[in-house]
Structure 1
Amino acid sequence: MKIALVGYGKMGHIIDEIATKRGHEIVARLSETPTAENLNNPDVVIEFSHPEAAFNNIKICLENKIPVICGTTGWLDQKPEIEKIALQNDTAFLYGSNFSLGVNLFFALNEKLANLMKDFPEYKVQLEEIHHTHKKDAPSGTAISLAEGIIKNDQRFDAWKLDETQNKELGIFAIRQDEVPGTHSVYYKSDVDEIEIKHTAFNRNGFAVGAVVAAEWIIGKTGNFTMNDVLFNK
C-alpha cells in the first residue's frame, strides 16, 4: 500500500518503521495540515495527531475520498459528523481508541465482567488510567471505551466522569507519569474483597502494528468501522 501519515510524532515514527517492514510505502509524513497535494495520492491515511487538529485532518482526507485510520483521542464529540462525511464521499473511516490486540481483547473481557457483576451492587466500580505526561487528553480514549462498555452492560450507570464513582456516574481516575505508554485498570471493590482486571502496555509497538493491520484491512471497503470489525468479524 501507499500510506500517508498525518501526524508525525512518536506514534507516527513507529508506524513508519513497522509499515515499511511490512512492505508498504510511506508517501507522506505530515506534521502540517493535509492537502490533496501534500498527501501524494495514498491508498490510505493513518492519522495520529492532536485533538484540536484531528477533525479537520480527517475531513480533508475523506473529502478527497481517501480512507482514514484514526487513533487520535479527545475529539469524539465531532465523530458523528466525520462518519457522515465518510458515507457522503463513498469512502471508509475507522476510529480506534486503542489499536492494540491485547487492549481489544481487554475490551471484550471488560464487557463480560460488567455483565457478570451487574447484579452485585455491593461491589463499587472504579476505573483508573495511567499515561505519559505528554498525553493531552484525559481521560484516555481507551478508558472512555472501557467505561462505555460497562455502562452498556450495567444499568446502575448512565454516564462516566473524571474522579470517583458516584451514584449513576462511573468514575475514572486519570494519572500522568513520565514515560508510561498506558495502563488501564477496572476495579470492583466490596467491604470484603476486590476484583481487578488490568492491561499494561510495555511500549507503543502494539498500537502501531494494530493501526497498520487496520489500514491493510480497510482497503476496498466503504463505511464506518472499529477494531472489532478488523479483529472479530473476518
Structure 2
Amino acid sequence: MKIALIGYGKMGKTIEQIALDRGHELVLTIDITNQHDLTVENLRKADVAIEFTIPTSATANYGLCFEAGIPVVSGTTGWLDRKTEVLDEMNKHNGTFFYASNFSLGVNLFFALNKKLAALMANRPEYDISMEEVHHTQKLDAPSGTAITLAEELFENHPGKKSWTLDKPTSPEQMQITAIREGQVPGIHRIKYESEVDHILIEHSAKSRQGFALGAVLAAEFSFGKKGMLTMNDLLNL
C-alpha cells in the first residue's frame, strides 16, 4: 500500500519503520516543517493515511483525507467533542475513518476485560472503583484517551459509576482518575476495585511504542477498500 503519514514525531517514526518492514511505501510524510504539503492533491497519491498529530489540527486533517477519497486511520485524542462533525464530513464524502484511542492489540483486549469485570462487579456496591494512568511528560492530554475509553465502557457496564473526575469525587457515582506524567513511560493503565477487606486490580503496561504502531499499520491495511466508521473491535472481531 501507499501510505500518507501525517505526524512525524516519535510515534510517526515508529509507524514508518513498521510500515516499511511490512512492504508498504510512504508517499507523503508530514511534520511541522512541511505542513503546506498536506493537500488534497498530494493525499490522492496515497491509498490510506495514518494520522497522529494534535487535537487542534486533527479534524481538519480528517476532512482533507475524506475529500481526497482515501481512508484515514487516526490515534489522535482530545478532539471527540467534534465527533459528530467529523462523521458528518465522512458521510458527505462517503469516506472511511478508523479511529482508536489506543491501537495496541493488548490494550484493546484489556478494554474487553474491563467491560467484563465491570459487569461482574455491577452488584457489588462494597467495592469502590478508581483508575490511574501514567504517561510520558510529552503527552498533552490528561486523562489519556485510553483512560477515558476505559471509563466510558466501565460506566456502560456498571450502574454505580456515571462520571469521572481528576479531583476528589464529590459523590459515590463519580470515579477518580489519577493522571501522572513522568519520564518516558509509553503508557500504564490501572483499574482498582477496593473494599474494606481486599482489592482487585487489573493493569496494562506498554513496554514500548511498537505495539501501538503495529496496530495502526494493521488498521491501515484493514481499512483499505472499506467504507464508514471502523474501530479496533472491527479489526479484532471483538
Normalised TM-score (structure 1): 0.96
Moved more, 146-155 or 54-63: 54-63
1:171 to 154, 176, 179: 176
Mapped partners of 2:7, 2:83: distance in 1: 18
Q: Write the mapping of 1:99-178 to structure 2, written as runs, cut at 5 A.
A: 99-165=103-169, 166-178=171-183
Aligned residues: 233
Structure 2 regions of 5+ residues with no counterpart?
A: none
How far 1:40 sits from its partner (Å)?
5.4
User: In the alignment, what sits opposite 1:219?
Assistant: 224
- Which residue of the other structure, out of 171, 186, 190, is the alignment partner of 1:185? 190
The 5 A counterparts of 1:44-59 are 44-59=48-63
1:140-168 per-residue CA deviation (whole Å, 9 max, x = no partner) reads 01000100111000111222222344422
C-alpha distance in 1 between matches for 2:61 and 2:174: 33
The amino acid of 1:189's aligned partner reads E
| Superposed counterparts of 1:85-100, under 5 Å | 85-100=89-104
- C-alpha distance in structure 2 between counterparts of 1:141 and 1:168, whole Å: 21
Corresponding residue to 1:70 among 58, 67, 74: 74
Equivalent residue for 2:39? 35
**Aligned amino acid, residue 9 of structure 1:** G
Instruction: Please say if residues 40 and 67 of structure 2, whose CA atoms lie closer than 8 Å, have aligned partners that are also in contact.
Output: no
Measured after TM superposition, the shift of residue 23 of structure 1 is: 0.3
- For residue 196 of structure 1, what is the aligned residue in structure 2? 201
CA distance in structure 1 between the partners assigned to 2:76 and 2:93 by the alignment:
21
Counterpart of 2:84 in structure 1 is 80
Deviation at 1:232, TM superposition (A): 1.1
Question: In 2, Cα distance between the equivalents of 1:101 and 1:204?
Answer: 12
Q: Using the TM superposition, give the Cα deviation of residue 38 of structure 1 relative to its aligned residue in structure 2, in angstroms.
A: 3.5
Corresponding residue SS for 1:167: coil
Between the aligned residues of both structures, percent identity stands at 53
Change (3 A) 1:116 1:164: farther
Greater CA deviation, 24-33 or 185-194? 24-33
